[in-house]
Amino acid sequence: MKKYWYLLFIGVSIIVLSCKSVDKTEETVHHYTHISLGDPFIMLYEDQYYAYGTQAEDGIVVYTSDDLEVWEKAPALALHKDNSYGEKWFWAPEVYYVNGKFYMYYSAEEHMCVATSDSPLGPFVQDVQQPMLPGEKTIDNTLFIDDDGTPYLFFDRFNDGLNIWVAELEDDLKTIRKETLHPCIHVSQEWEEVWPRVNEGAFVIKHNGTYYMTYSANSYESQFYGVGCATATDIMGEWTKYPHNPLLQKPGNLYGVGHSSMFKDKEGKWRIVFHAHQSETKIHPRNMFISNVYFKKIGGEEVLQIDPDFITPVIVND
């Protein structure tokens, strides 16, 4: 009997040690690091994904991927401060391919800017190195082109805290038609009033005739930074926030989630990308995550939803 227990002990020990050896090998092979991008944006162009965001002190970085899983950082900045208005605070870039040209909308020194390039990797150059609205602080500019070809710019104004406005653009996609400036949303729901008065980071899509705007509320420094949604049937009309907002706030073990944007993947499915704090106690550097977006009928209305159970980190291999 003693011999039996001794052999059993040896067998179990071998199995345990084997498992530990496998785990150690897998950890060695699968080392990775998060991509630390605040205010992230992903564009799919010619079967390649491009990710841009807030990171570099002297411009805008870009990462590339074939599958949204393995990413590589481009060796050069997509935008360098030498080609832009401003010397610092290069935030929230978004890139769109329109009529054979790439347009990057971003903020520099808390002013909206737009630069162009012949390549999604850059270099992006701001032809006239002036803000889109000189003399006024504005950030988080995002482009939306409607079905009839009319271009709109959504952005944050620094009046009544931070709140979201829209205006039409001229055909050059750079010039704001100031006479069309129109307010969209401001802080108005209890979940948005943690700290301070912020509605920011708008992103707009159109689905079955309805405009859907995702936005973020509370300070980006707050653990309760989150994502809400508002809808409209007329861009220049009234925007109505979901009564069940927020759609995303402190999911799982993530804190400070927000400043999202949406994109369609290679299968034509809507995805959403956003940043989160480094940890429960540390804000920077913020990491990038991706989740699924879908529409669900509630009370006869199609409601945009974010899947909180399918959130994946965006990583690069060491």
Q: What DSSP character marks residue 162?
A: B
Written as six digits, the tokens of 93 are 């870039």
Which candidate, 309, 155, 284, 165, places its Cα nearest to that of 220?
Answer: 284
16: left (phi over 0), alpha (psi -120 to 50) or beta: alpha
Which candidate, 203, 166, 160, places its Cα nearest to that of 182?
Answer: 166
Return d(Cα 314, Cα 294) in angstroms, integer: 20
Return d(Cα 158, Cα 110) in angstroms, integer: 10
Which candidate, 87, 86, 116, 122, places its Cα nearest to that of 101?
Answer: 116
Q: Given strand 111-117, what is the order of strands in its sheet?
A: 90-98, 101-108, 111-117
191 three-state secondary structure? helix
Which residues participate in catalysis according to the annotation? 39, 200
Cβ-based neighbours of 265, under 8 Å, separated by 6 or more: 44, 68, 271
Return d(Cα 169, Cα 158) in angstroms, integer: 20
220 in Cβ contact with 256 (< 8 Å): yes
Q: Which helix (H) or strand (E) holds 15?
A: helix 2-29
